[in-house]
């Protein structure tokens, strides 16, 4: 037998809102006309875990898109403030608006994945790489030609990294 939540005509929307955390189980229970524990049990037992995960992923994507939309609206208002300040000769207000605009661009870049804040590590400057070069050159001492070729190749790697 299916539970009371499964039989409700707005079941899909209610599940989606619970997964998105825009509705809690208490609110859902009031809409459906059942207890909070019935809704909780439904979410645990009737809604498959992969469906819950998919609903939560969709909710996050929607929230991100919605956030970008809100950011876009905010940016339009900001441009109006900046333009009005410039036309009225209020330079301090205009500069403050520009500062906020830069922060908005940074936030939009983070939300869209265009800004990577991961630390950049230059392996060629690491002590481990320096030690490895010394070990290679030392190991090739009995082979002068190979040693010269290895040294040349290591210099080329260093030079290429400097060019980038």
CA distance 90 to 86: 6
Residue 42: C-alpha distances to residues 10, 30, 138 (Å) = 14, 15, 69
CA distance 83 to 91: 10
Residues 31-89 have pLDDT tens digits of: 999 999 999 888 888 876 656 667 666 666 665 556 777 788 888 888 898 888 889 99
Q: What is the dihedral of CA 63, 69, 72, 77, to 10 degrees?
A: -100
Top mean-pLDDT range of 34-38, 105-109, 120-124: 34-38
Q: pTM for the whole thing? A: 0.36
């Amino acid at each position: 037998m299916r539970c009371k939540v499964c039989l409700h005509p707005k079941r899909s929307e209610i599940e989606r809102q619970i997964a998105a955390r825009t509705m809690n189980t208490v609110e859902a229970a009031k809409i459906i006309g059942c207890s909070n524990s019935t809704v909780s049990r439904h979410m645990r037992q009737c809604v498959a875990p992969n469906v819950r995960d998919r609903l939560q992923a969709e909710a996050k994507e929607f929230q991100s898109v919605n956030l970008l939309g809100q950011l876009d609206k905010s940016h339009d208002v900001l441009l109006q403030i900046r333009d009005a300040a410039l036309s009225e000769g209020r330079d301090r207000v205009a500069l403050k608006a520009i500062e906020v605009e830069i922060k908005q661009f940074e936030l939009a870049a983070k939300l869209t994945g265009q800004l990577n804040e991961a630390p950049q590590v230059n392996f060629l400057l690491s002590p481990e790489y320096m030690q490895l070069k010394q070990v290679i050159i030392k190991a090739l001492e009995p082979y002068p030609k190979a040693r010269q070729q290895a040294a040349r190749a290591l210099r080329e790697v260093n030079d290429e990294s400097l060019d980038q």
